[in-house]
Structures are given as C-alpha cells and as structure tokens.
Amino acid sequence: MSKQASRFSILLLLLCVSVCSASGSISPIQIDNPYRHPFYVGVTGGYGSTTWGQLVPSQNKLNAAINLSTPIRVNEGGAVWGVFVGYEIIPMFAVEGSYSRYRIADVFFSQNSMFAFDHNDQTYFSTRTDEVALSGKFMLMIPKTAMRAFSSVGAAGVHRNDMLTNHWRVSPRFAVGFNYNISEHVMAEIGVSYTGGYGESELDPVQDYIPFLYSGFARLAYRF
C-alpha cells in the first residue's frame, strides 16, 4: 500500500471515530427549518497529498536504466486550502462547486537522468496542483441528530503547473463525510476526498503525468 493510500485510510478511520463519538452527544438544533437558507459559501482547510511519489521505483527495482527517466525522491503532502459554494435543491441533495490548492511538490532526479541532461544538470523541479470541481452531493439525515452523512460525485479540472508543463485535465472526483448545522446560518463539515489523475507507461513518464489527489478536510460555511 502506498504512503498516500495509508494516510487516506487513517484519515477515514479518524473521521469515523470522531463522528461516532460525537453523534451521541449532538442533539438536533431548535430551528423551525434549518434548511430554509439553501445557498451557502465557505472555506476549506485540511491535509492533502498528490501522488508524485508513485513514479519513484521501489528499492528492489532500482537500476541505472530506470533512474534515467524516473524520479529518485519526492517531497509532497501538507496543508490544503480552498473555497466552495453550493445550493441545496432539497435537504437531501445539493450542487456544489469548489476550488482547492495542494502543497507544492518537489521532484528530484539522479544526476545521470534525462531530466538533468535536458535541463543543464538541474536535478529537481517544483510543481503546483490546483483543483476546480463541480459535484452533486447526496445527503442522508442521521436519526436523532441534526447531522447528515453525505457522498458526492462529480468532475474536477486538475491543473498541473511547473517548468515542464501548464496543463488542465478533467478527472472524476469523489468525497464522503458529515455536515452539521451549528445554527440557522452556519454549517460545519468534515470529510475525505479523492480525485483521479493520469499517467502513461512511457520513456519520460513525468512529462505527461497528472497526479491523483487525496485529502481530509474541515469546512465552515455561511448559509444565505
């Protein structure tokens, strides 16, 4: 299992534990209709990672030929931030748009690599990843609480920007989590998300690679 997948699994486990612990103590808010403000905007913060590390070969596969074209080390993962806007058509379904920025990843190569040969002996580059997504969000009330479990599915434009390319690619995006109306106008949310990427088996896999994206997030929104 990759480091990114392991982190994603841990985030999901912590999310489930937190919600199970909280569900017994959270009672429904005393509002006649907490969903009468269907339009909302908010901010996102959390931890996320790209998957550039998937291009680094395992120790038992390292050799001079592979090191010619693949990275030897990657630094990635860290804070994710963003903004989002949504509209609840009904309390069980919403349409949501979002923007997220992931931490810059540093990709390192061998001094004998093609990358170093093509870039005046430079052995690393930094790459930025942004995501713009549009999703349908399905929600289910949790009995005896004002909390809702949700799952969302949609399409995301993943933007890779670095010295090698400046490219957008449309990929599927999925998320699951829980939200809670703290008051008539304030909604909190926690969840995890996954966005697909793209890669080819080729002599220079870095050139066309679009990273997959994982994140665990917390959100705060204002309902209008």
pLDDT tens digits, one per residue of 165-210: 999 999 999 999 999 999 889 999 999 999 999 998 888 899 999 9
Answer with the residue of higher pLDDT: 15 or 78: 78
Q: Calculate the alpha carbon distances from 51 to 33, 73, 80, 89, 220 in Å.
A: 43, 12, 14, 35, 27
Q: Residue 129 half-sphere exposure, CB side, CA atoms within 13 Å?
A: 28
- The string of pLDDT tens digits covering residues 140-171 is 999 988 899 999 999 999 999 999 999 999 99
Whether the CA torsion 166, 170, 174, 179 is positive or negative: it is positive
- The string of pLDDT tens digits covering residues 20-51 is 444 444 444 444 565 789 999 999 999 999 99
Q: Percentage of the chain with pLDDT > 90?
A: 74
Looking at residue 3, its pLDDT comes to 54
Looking at residue 120, its pLDDT comes to 95
